Every structure is written in C-alpha cells, then in structure tokens.
C-alpha cells in the first residue's frame, strides 16, 4: 500500500468531515489540530503502521511544510484586525516580544535540563519553543464563539503576538544554534541574523505596500475578478516567502510584515473577503502537518526520558508563559482573569516544529532535539485543544465583558 496516497485519503476525509461540522467543532473540546494529531498517531507505526517516514524524510518535509503553513498563518494574523486597532497596543507588543518571549525561552531551556540535555541543546529547545504558535492560537481567537466570548483586547494581543514572534524568534534560535555548534563564528552569526531580521522587515513592508496599492488600483479599474481577489493575500504570502529565501532574509517575518503593510494600504472592503478565505485556509491547511507529526512521534526517545518527561511537560505548560503574563497584567492593560487566559493560551505548535527542523538543517542533529520539541508540542496540542472551548466559555461566564470591549 502506498503510504503517501493513504495519507492523502485520510487527511482529505478528515478535512471534509471537519468542514461539514465546522460550526460544531468550534464549541467542542477537540480542536482540528488535535484530531489531526490523533489520526496521525493511529496511522503511524505504533498502531496501524500504515504511514512510516525515516528521519531523513521527516526533516525536510517538516521544514518546508511548516514554513509554508507559517507563511499562510502569519499573513492571516496580519489581516485579522485593522492596523489602526493594533497601533495603540504597540507598548504591549514590545513587552510581549522583547521581554516575555526571551524569558519564556530561558524558562523553557531550564525546563529542558530536566530531560538530561546538555546546556547548549537545552537552549536550542528553549528558543524553538518560546514563540506563540499562530496556527493553534487562531483556533482560540477566531470564529463566532471567540468574537462573542472574548474581549477584543485579548484577541488582538494574542493575534499580534503570535504573528510577530514567529519571525522574531529567529535571532534567539540562531544564537542558540551558534552556541550549540561552536565551529560557527559568533561575529558572522550576529551579522547574518541582523540581516535576516532587518532585511525581512524591509522586504515585507515594501512588497506589502506595493501589493496593497496594486490591489486598490486593480479594484478601482475593475481589472480583478472575484476569484483571484479571494486568494490574493495567500499568493502574496507565497511570493514574499520565496523572495525572502532567495535573498537570505527571514521568510516568516517578511510575510508578516507584508501582511501588515498590505493591511495598512488597502481599505477594509478589500481585506474582508480575503480575510475570510485566508481564515479557512489557515484552519485546514494545518491538518497535514499535524497528521505527519502524529505519524512520526518519537515514542522510544520519550520513554527514554523516563519520569523526567512528565516533569518537563508540566514545567513548560505551567511556567513557560503563565506566570510571566500574570505578573505583567497591569502593563498589558488586562485584569488578572484576562492575563491568566492570555498566559495559558500561548500554544506551541507549527512554529516550534519549524524552528526544530531549521536547527537540524543548520547542523544540530541530536535526536533529542526533535524528541523534546515534539513532546512539548504534543502536550500543547492536547492541553490547549481540550481547554480552548471550555476556558473560553468560563471566561465569558465570569468576566461579563463584551467581545468588543478592551
């Protein structure tokens, strides 16, 4: 049996079923990524053994698959709210990105020491897991129930943070990889990382602004049909990602910057239909990645970690982000209940897998890297997938805050 064709059929069938019951899945304690992960586990070598991939095949699939998915996801995040509504939150975004994220990397790296990893490898694990994943975060802040139950401020904070920190985590991962691979010169690493960040932002802003002006002109002159207009921002994301890779800058950061620049350049009417189709793509495009993850989970390495695996999972889920956000509830402009919600829902997912594959591509070939990252990601998919709907309902019940409130 061709395992690739079987995977196509399984993923397609799951997607069709989830699409048919898309409204109901919003209210169930089972997210689409969690169901896809469970499907991958069922198809993998532990159960049915119908899909099997070697490490040599797994790494490039994860690297390029997660890269494309992140590009689509951060573009969606950049378009979710008008730029004018995000501008007042710039101090809060700076706090989340420049203080909370590095501290989360340090806490997670320290937690990885529980697994018996060397310090340098634990630092790589910590930086891979520090960004909030936009794919899993989208399931918390989008859709009718989220708009009804959650204050707009929480939704905007989580959206902007998850979109930006996936690209801005690149310097942290780059430095950690340089430490883990002492043959790489630190001076050259710093110069390269600065170029990747600043070049990515510049490329994204330029292409996004040009694309926005072009969209307005094409709409004004009635040169653009409805079908292409719906996919325009997704096509823009792919184009920017490819251009970024060609000139050696941060692709995910470039795409997010392009989305913000496009968002700022066009009127709300041009963004609305594209945002709807991008949300649908973002919701279902992730399924193949999580099916793949479920099929290649390193069960043997997890068992090798012993009881420390459970301690690591609990430390990452409870200490990586929650206490940091709760301590910063005043600067973030939130009430304690809101900070607890924002602190809990900082999921790890596609972005963590991307950076783990990126680190492996850069030369960190220790199998414990993927084992530790995949363990945390799996725990996050389960924990946040199960709690997203009930915690959102609890927040609405006890906060008494309208969704549009701040």
| pLDDT score of 406 | 41
Sketch the domain layout of the chain as residue ranges.
3-52+62-399
Question: For 294-341, how does the pLDDT look when each residue is reduced to its tens digit (9 = 90+)?
Answer: 999 999 999 999 999 999 999 999 999 999 999 999 999 999 999 999
| pLDDT score of 6 | 82
With a cut of 70, list the residues of the chain below it in pLDDT.
Answer: 1-4, 26, 183-187, 222-230, 268-282, 399-406
3-52+62-399: CATH architecture: Up-down Bundle (1.20)
| pLDDT score of 56 | 78
Tell me what percent of the residues of the chain surpass a pLDDT of 90.
Answer: 58
| pLDDT score of 48 | 86
- 3 state SS for the chain: CCHHHHHHHHHHHHHHHHHHCHHHHCCCCCCHHHHHHHHHHHHCCCCCCCCCCCHHHHHHHHHHHHHHHHHHHHHHHHHCCCHHHHHHHHHHHHHHHHHHHHHHHHHHHHHHHHHCCCHHHHHHHHHHHCCCCHHHHHHHHCCHHHHHHCCHHHHHHHHHHHHHHHHHHHHHHHHHHHHHCCCCCHHHHHHHHHHHHHHHHHHHHHHHHHHHHHHHHHHHCCCCCHHHHHCHHHHHHHHHHHHHHHHCCCHHHHHHHHHHHHHHHCCHHHHHHHHHHHHHHHHHHCHHHHHHHHHCCCHHHHHHHCCHHHHHHHHHHHHCCHHHHHHCCCCCCCCHHHHHHHHHCCCCCHHHHHHHHHHHHHCCCCHHHHHHHHHHHHHHHHHHHHHHHHHHHHHHHHHCCCCCCC
| pLDDT score of 389 | 85
| pLDDT score of 7 | 78
| pLDDT score of 85 | 87
Across the chain, mean pLDDT equals: 88
| pLDDT score of 358 | 94
| pLDDT score of 401 | 46
The pTM for the full model equals: 0.91
| pLDDT score of 223 | 64
């Amino acid at each position: 049996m061709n395992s690739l064709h079987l995977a196509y059929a399984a993923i397609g069938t799951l997607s069709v079923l989830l699409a048919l019951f898309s409204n109901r899945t919003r209210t169930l304690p089972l997210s689409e990524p969690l169901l896809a992960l469970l499907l991958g586990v069922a198809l993998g070598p532990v159960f049915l053994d119908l899909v099997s991939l070697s490490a040599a095949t797994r790494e490039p699939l994860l690297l390029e698959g997660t890269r494309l998915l992140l590009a689509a996801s951060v573009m969606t995040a950049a378009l979710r709210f008008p730029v004018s509504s995000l501008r007042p939150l710039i101090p809060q975004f700076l706090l989340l990105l420049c203080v909370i994220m590095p501290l989360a990397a340090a806490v997670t790296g320290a937690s990885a020491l529980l697994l018996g990893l060397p310090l340098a490898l634990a630092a790589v694990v910590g930086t891979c897991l520090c960004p909030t994943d936009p794919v899993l975060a989208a399931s918390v802040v989008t859709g009718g129930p989220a708009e009804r139950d959650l204050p707009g401020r929480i939704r905007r904070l989580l959206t902007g943070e998850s979109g930006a920190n996936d690209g801005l985590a690149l310097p942290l991962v780059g430095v950690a990889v340089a430490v883990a691979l002492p043959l790489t010169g630190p001076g050259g690493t710093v110069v390269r990382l600065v170029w990747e960040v600043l070049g990515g932002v510049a490329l994204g802003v330029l292409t996004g602004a040009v694309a926005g002006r072009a969209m307005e002109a094409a709409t004004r002159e009635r040169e653009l049909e409805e079908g292409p207009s719906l996919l325009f921002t997704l096509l823009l994301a792919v184009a920017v990602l490819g251009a970024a890779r060609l000139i050696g800058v941060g692709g995910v950061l470039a795409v997010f910057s392009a989305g913000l620049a496009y968002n700022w350049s066009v009127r709300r009417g041009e963004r609305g239909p594209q945002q709807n189709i991008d949300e649908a793509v973002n919701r279902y495009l992730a399924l193949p990645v999580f099916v793949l993850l479920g099929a290649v989970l390193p069960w043997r390495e997890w068992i090798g970690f012993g009881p420390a695996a459970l301690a690591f999972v609990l430390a990452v889920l409870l200490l990586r982000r929650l206490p940091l956000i709760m301590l910063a509830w005043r600067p973030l402009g939130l009430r304690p209940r809101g900070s607890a919600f924002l602190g809990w829902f900082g999921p790890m997912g596609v972005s963590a897998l991307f950076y783990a594959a990126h680190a492996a591509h850069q030369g960190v070939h220790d199998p414990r890297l993927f084992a530790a990252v995949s363990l945390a990601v799996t725990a996050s998919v389960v924990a946040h997938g199960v709690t997203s709907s009930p915690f959102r309902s609890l927040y609405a019940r006890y906060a008494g805050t309208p969704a549009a409130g701040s």
